[in-house]
Amino acid sequence: MFDLTVICARKIIFDDTVERVRVSGDESEYEFLEFHAKCIGCLTKGVILINEKFMIPIQRGIVKFENNKCVILAEEIPGQAEKDEAKTRKQQAV
């Protein structure tokens, strides 16, 4: 497990301990697990996939992994977070 913080538009939208996170990088896809090597990279349009369950769609961003902590600064796709929240609530109700 490692600490993950995702920051978008002046607010923290995710801050918790996770098992894995996958993001679309400028040259390839990054998947971070516990004790990953030190890394910094640019993110492209895609999703931040947390623990294979929770998705945050983004336009672009920056990721840094160091000392078992991952910080992602990202630009969310406008309006997408609200759509995803509604979809998640609907799926949980079924």
Q: With contact defined as beta carbons under 8 Å apart, do 61 and 75 qualify?
A: yes
Taking only the tens place, the pLDDT of each residue in 10-35 is 899 999 999 999 999 988 899 999 99
Write down the pLDDT at residue 27: 85
Q: Compute CA distances 81 → 4, 47, 69, whole Å.
A: 18, 11, 24
As a dihedral over the C-alpha atoms of residue 47, residue 41, residue 10, residue 45, rounded to 10 degrees, the angle is: -30
Place of tokens 């301990």: 17
Which CATH architecture best describes the domain 2-93? Answer: Sandwich (2.60)
Write down the pLDDT at residue 10: 80
Name the phi and psi angles at 76, rounded to 5.
-70, 155
Q: Show me where the domains of the chain are located.
A: 2-93
